[in-house]
Amino acid sequence: MTARVTRYITTMQRNMRRVSGFLIFVFPCYRKGDYGMGKIKTGAYNPLPVAPMVLVGATVSGKPNYMAVGFVNGVNIKPAIVYVSLNKRHHTPTGIIENGTFSINIPSADYVIETDYCGLVSGKNVDKSNIFTTFYGELGSAPMIEEFPITCECRYTGQKVEFDMDTVYFGEVMQVYINEEVLGADGKIDVLKVNPIYFSGLENRYRALGEDLGPGWHIGKQYTPKQGTAEAEPRGPKYQCSIVERCAQPALTIRSRVAPAELAATIGQSAATVFLFARDNGSTPSGALFVAYHGFDGQGLDIEIGFPFMPGIEGRGNIHLSEIPGGKAASYRHVGSYEKLPEVRTALEQWLSINGYVVCGATYEIYLNDPQTTAPEKLETEILYPLLPGS
C-alpha cells in the first residue's frame, strides 16, 4: 500500500514538473474569508484562465524538436520580441542555445492531439522530428511546421531570466509564415480560420476560440464615466490629431543620447553635419529637419536628428540611412514656440490614449520653418506618432 502511494505521488510530481507549473493549480482549494464583495482567498498561483498553445521548435543535435508551450507571449511591438518560458530539464532549450534560434508554431484545433503529444514526451527519449513536415526559413536553423497555419522564426536575443524551474528566453521575430487559406477577404489573418488552441490551466482543458466581443482599442470608447467623475482630459478639439496614412521616407540621421539641456545645441550641430554631408555628395533634403524621440532613460534622451531624402541616398560614418516610417500615424501641426512642444505632446498623448490609439515606435517632430528667420509664435512643427495598425 505504502509503495503504491509513493509511486502515485512520484508520478504526480513528475507530471507536475513536466507541464512546468500548469497542473499545480488545476484543483485550487478555496477558503471562505472576509474579503469584500464575497471574495474568497484561493492561494498564490497563476490565475490566467487561458494561454495560447504553441509548439516551440528548435534544432537539437541536428534534428528538429517540438515541445508544447503555454508560457509564451509578446513583450515588445517593434522590434517584435517574444518570450517562451521553458523548464530547465527539457530538450528544446539545448537547441535554442546551440543555434541561437527557435520557432513558434501556432496549431489549429485540428492538431490538438499532436500538440498535446509534444507536451507528453521529451525529445530526450522520443524522436519528434517526423510528427510534422518541417521547413526552415531565413535563419536556416529554426524548424517550423508546415501543417500549422501560422509559424515564425525567432533569433534568440541572448537575454534570459532564470527562475527555479523555468528559464524565460527572449527572441526577436525575424519572419512570420502563414498558410494562405487563413487570410480573410481583406488580406489580413482571419483568426477564426486559424482556429487556435487555448489551454486552460485552471481546468486542465484545451479550448477553442469563443465569442467575438468587439474591436480592441475601440470598444472602450463606449464607456460612460461614473457620475461625478471627470474624464482625464476632455475630448475637445484643442489638441485633436489627424489620423493619416503615410509613405515611408528615406532619411539620413545622426543618433545620439543627450541630456535635455544639450538638446538644442545637439540638434543644431547634427542638422548641420547631415546637411553639409549631403550637399558635398550632391544631394539636398526632400523635406524639413526632424528629430525622432526614441526614449528617455531618466538622464539622457535617445534621439535621431536628420532630414528626409529621395530614395537612393546613402550614409557614412555616424550618418545613418534611416526613415520616417510609413503606415498609419497621428499627426498634429503645432503653431507657436518650441517651448510649448512638451506641453502639447503631453496633451496629444492623452488624447491618443483616450481615443484608443496605440503609439508604436519613436515620436517625430518635424520643424517646418526656420527658427532663425521666423518669429516664435509663427513657428510650425508637425508632431507625428506612428500608430499600431488596427488601433
Q: Which residues bind ligand FMN (CB under 6 A)?
A: 18-20, 22, 65, 67-71, 85-87, 90-92, 116, 119, 121-124, 166, 199
**Min. distance of Cβ 19 from ligand FMN in angstroms?**
4
Give the residue at shortest CB distance from ligand FMN: 119
CA atoms within 13 A on the CB side of 266: 19
166/304 with CB nearer ligand FMN: 166
Nearer to ligand FMN, 19 or 274 (CB): 19
Q: Closest CB to ligand FMN among 122 and 337?
A: 122
Nearer to ligand FMN, 55 or 267 (CB): 55
Q: Are strands 301-308 and 290-296 parallel, antiparallel or unpaired?
A: antiparallel
Q: What is the nearest approach in angstroms of ligand FMN to the Cβ of residue 135?
A: 19
Q: Is 219 helix (H, G, I), strand (E, B) or coil?
A: helix
Which position has the grid cell 506612428? 386
The residue (of 69 and 366) whose beta carbon lies closer to ligand FMN is 69
Find, among 70, 72, 68, the residue nearest to 119 by Cα.
68
CA-based angle 170:174:176, to the nearest 5?
Answer: 110
| CB of residue 222 to ligand FMN, shortest distance in Å | 35
* Separation of alpha carbons 63 and 67, rounded Å: 13
66: nearest Cα among 149, 112, 122: 122
Q: Which is nearer to ligand FMN, 29 or 113 (CB)?
A: 113
| Cell matching residue 137 | 526559413
Going along the chain, which residue ranges are E strands?
51-52, 54-60, 63-69, 72-76, 81-87, 101-106, 134-135, 144-145, 150-162, 166-178, 198-200, 205-207, 242-246, 249-258, 290-296, 301-308, 320-324, 327-335, 363-367, 380-386
Closer residue to ligand FMN, CB minimum distance, 22 or 351: 22
